[in-house]
Structure 1
Amino acid sequence: MVRTPLTPEERERGERLGELLRAARGARSMVEIAAGAGISVETLRKIESGRIATPAFFTVAALAGELGMRLDTLVEAVGQVPEQAAPERVA
């Protein structure tokens, strides 16, 4: 499967996500966080370095849970979802 190239904005969001997760991890080891989230250390390393700029939702949710972070906090810190991809809200 050929993946479409990421936009500069997507790459930048991925880098911000990585920085935020790395900061939230603090002194805890990558091994501890990855094991708790059910992902490989290499996957966590790639996310934190921005090499996986668009990780799967469930991966981000697992990391947020392991780090004690709220998903809405991540969204606010990393950047909003593009309008065309955002679901419509019911009032």
Structure 2
Amino acid sequence: MVRVPLTPEQIAAGRRLGALLRDARGEQRLDDIAGAAGISPETLRKIESGRLVTPSFFTVAALADVLAIPLGNLAAARAVDAEFGRAG
């Protein structure tokens, strides 16, 4: 199966997601949050830095749970950007 390249908007949305998660982590150790979410520290590092812009739903859901962020808040942030045509 051929993977369709991501659009600039999708890339920007993934980077915004990473920034939101990084801000929510605050001073908590990356290793601690990754472990609690059941992912590797490297995966979390890639998401936060914008190098992994399409993490799986279950990864995002686990991080949202550990960081006490309602998933709706993450979805709403994306929806607002789409509504106004912003890419970042």
Q: Same fold (TM over 0.5)?
A: yes
Q: What are the superposed Cα offsets for residues 29-81 of structure 1, whole Å, 9 maximum, x if unpaired?
A: 1000000000000000010011111110000000000000100001112x12x
In the superposition, the TM-score normalised over structure 2's length comes to 0.85
| 1:6 matched to 2:6 | yes
Structure 2: any 5+ residue segments left out of the alignment?
A: 83-88
Partner secondary structure for residue 28 of structure 2 = coil
Determine the structure 2 residue equivalent to 1:87.
none
CA distance in 2, matches of 1:27, 1:3: 36
Following superposition of structure 1 onto structure 2, how do residues 1-91 of structure 1 map, counting pairs within 5 Å?
Answer: 2-77=2-77, 79-80=78-79
- Structure number with bigger Rg: 1
- % identity of equivalent residues: 60
Once the 2 structures are TM-superposed, how far is the Cα of residue 2 of structure 1 from its aligned partner? 4.4
Whole-Å Cα distance in 2 between the matches of residues 41 and 60 of structure 1? 14
Please give the root-mean-square deviation of Cα atoms over the aligned residues, in Å.
Answer: 1.3
Q: Distance in 2 between matches of 1:74 and 1:65?
A: 12
How many aligned residue pairs are there? 80
Q: Normalized against structure 1, the TM-score is what?
A: 0.83
Would you identify which runs of 4 or more consecutive aligned residues in structure 1 move more than 2 Å?
1-4
State the distance in 2 between where 1:24 and 1:61 align.
Answer: 14
